[in-house]
Amino acid sequence: MFGAHGPHRYPPLNALRMFESAARHLNFRVASEELCVTQGAVAQQVRALEEALGVKLFDRLPRSLALTEAGQRYLKPIQRALSMITEATQELKPHKTVITISVTHSFATKWLIPRLGRFSDAHPDVEVQVLAANTLANFQSDGVDIAVRQTKPPFGAGLQGDLLFPVKLYAVCSPSLLTAAKPLGAVQDLPQHVLLHDAHGMWRVFLERAGVQADRSTLKSVKFSYASLAIDAAIAGQGVALASEPLIEDDLASGRLCSPFAFSLADELGFYLVYPRAPRKADNVRWMRDWLLTQNASKSPAE
């Protein structure tokens, strides 16, 4: 029996949300991740719901769940009811469209922010919130609609992704290094210069693939936590950075940076748009996704 008094007795809303999520994923663990609770809490709430209803909703299999006939009948009306509650709640809120996008610090400063005005021009009634963080986005608890990450498939349960652009790393520097006392004109000249590292640490692989023989103990280097900082140091003439094409195209176009040779390193990772398969605000995701995909027509520094 449920705790409500009077002629209407309703199951607890939390129990219904956990049942719906578990039924959708047929997995208590995935449901717990979606709802940001423990797996044990989901299992306990579902068990309590079954006891209160007096029916079994799931068959517990060794590695998954299966809805019973009663569970299948119960699921659809519960989903409709939860959807109606969500819609009714949204109707009470001010009708201001806000899109929240999560990106890394370097992607935000070097690519997104210089272009964001174009999105505002195309969607003047939409407010964009940019969350800059290198940690993974949680689309359930942090309000993020869509994220951009340097990653590769497969993505997490319930997520999908679109390739924004592949990662190809170029050595870039200030034009002043081309006419320095030890000019940088070929990959073989790199050991004579300061190598600016970021968190990805790809210089060793770059030198090996380029066929540069160098004693690593004699290489001069400076390390930064973000790619954007390494790029800024390169602009300031402090050394040579490895950078992905999209993050440097504006600096190359302005002449703040140059790419002294055509060799590049293709990385297995790419910049991906990541978002839920069933987003809470589908229009928001579609608008930002479509706009981002139209912004990726950048040219290679070597072209």
Residues 187 and 252 in one domain: yes
Residues 126 and 152 in one domain: yes
Q: Residue 82 domain-assigned? A: yes
What's 277's domain CATH number?
3.40.190.10
What is the residue-wise DSSP string for the chain? Answer: --S--SS-----HHHHHHHHHHHHHT-HHHHHHHHTS-HHHHHHHHHHHHHHHTS--EEE-SSSEEE-HHHHHHHHHHHHHHHHHHHHHHHHS---EEEEEEE-HHHIIIIIHHHHHHHHHH-TTEEEEEEE-SSPP-TTTS--SEEEEEE-S---TTEEEEEEEEEEEEEEB-GGGGGSSS---SGGGGGGS-EEE-TT--HHHHHHHHT----GGG--EEE-SSHHHHHHHHHTTS-EEEEEHHHHHHHHHHTS-B--S--EEEEEEEEEEEEESS-SSHHHHHHHHHHHHHT--PPPTT-
Identify the residue with better confidence: 250 or 157: 250
Would you place residue 299 in the very low, low, confident or very high pLDDT band (cuts 50, 70, 90)?
very low
Residues 154 and 275 in one domain: yes
Specify the pLDDT at position 133: 82
Q: Residue 153 domain-assigned? A: yes
Residues 199 and 132 in one domain: no
Residues 137 and 72 in one domain: no
Residues 34 and 125 in one domain: no
Residues 32 and 101 in one domain: no
Would you place residue 6 in the very low, low, confident or very high pLDDT band (cuts 50, 70, 90)?
very low
Residues 143 and 278 in one domain: yes
Q: Count the domains in the chain.
A: 3
Domain boundary among 48, 65, 92: 92
Residues 156 and 176 in one domain: no
Q: Residue 7 domain-assigned? A: no
Q: Residue 300 domain-assigned? A: no
Name the residue range of residue 125's domain: 97-163+269-294
Cis preceding linkage at 154, omega within 30: yes
* Residue 251 burial (CB count, 10 A): 20
Residues 214 and 277 in one domain: no
**What mean pLDDT is reported for the chain?**
88
Type of residue found at 103: V
Instruction: Kindly tell me if the per-residue pLDDT of 160 is higher than 60.
Output: yes
Q: Residue 280 domain-assigned? A: yes
pTM for the model: 0.64
Strand partners, 56: none
Question: What is the tens place of the pLDDT at every residue in 60-94?
Answer: 998 889 999 999 999 999 999 999 988 888 777 66
Instruction: Kindly tell me if the per-residue pLDDT of 228 is higher than 90.
Output: yes
Domain boundary among 66, 92, 118: 92
Instruction: Kindly tell me if the per-residue pLDDT of 213 is higher than 70.
Output: yes
Residues 200 and 264 in one domain: yes
What's 45's domain CATH number?
1.10.10.10
Domain boundary among 92, 115, 149: 92
Q: Residue 3 domain-assigned? A: no
Residues 159 and 274 in one domain: yes
Q: Residue 125 domain-assigned? A: yes
Average pLDDT over residues 14-40: 92
Q: Residue 50 domain-assigned? A: yes
